[in-house]
Structure 1
Amino acid sequence: MNHWGRGAAGEFSGHSLEAAVFLAKLAAAKAKRKSFNFPNHFLGIVAGGCLREECLLDIIRNLPQGVSEVMVHPGDNDAILSAECGWSHHFQEELNAVCSTQTANFLQKNKIESHWGRFQSHWGRFRLTTDLKWNIM
């Protein structure tokens, strides 16, 4: 278990999950007072770091009503990104899940609006370099 209350990727202890929920509710209340727009739901945190395609599709199949944000950390080089940020995430798997044909087809078939398509269309022009700065190719 690390200092965020996490063991293996996505596993939270009871107290750290309660704290995260409390902090999220506090942030939402502050955002409402400032008239900020924010999603109704935030999903994917339990699978953080290893959101594989089947997990992403399961989240999408069970989306609640309203606007949802799904947390992902897509990247195209696990070794470099993990060394630079100190996280042992599966960046490439998350990129593959977000950009997969199966995910795109499911979203389209079920008329679910997504901003991932915009991300996917730009991925070829943007790459994360080893110094973690965005470069346009």
Structure 2
Amino acid sequence: MTGLHAVLLYVFVIIALVLSYALPRVPQVLTGSKPADAWGRDKPSIDPALLVRAQHAHANAVENFPLFLAVVAVGALMDKSATAIDPLAIYVVYLRIGQAGVHLLGTSFWLVMTRATFFLAQIGLVGTMAWRLFAA
């Protein structure tokens, strides 16, 4: 799998996360049980804890995506993907999926520590890919 494929897979992860908390809202709006603007960022959350965690997992994935995308894109532009990017890129996605899954499970100390480990491993891999490109 190439780094560019891994970027696309990461995009699918982001889409799945946003749909996981957005789709349950649709029936509430359509039936009139909640107004369409009931979920504004300036309002307290009315979602169950699982959906709040899904929102946070989505936001975290989105805020970290640009680093991953930039390194993969630069690798492709430098024609160095095969050596610097492709061997590691899919592991960034696997770790992101793991982090999101653990995020959805809960917020106990061990779950948060596991999530942090997955996050730091992703940052380490993206940093390693960037260093490989820089040194190439």
Q: TM-score, normalised by structure 2?
A: 0.26
Larger Rg: 2
Q: Which has the higher contact order (CA 8 A, sep 6+)?
A: 2
Structure ranking higher in strand proportion: 1
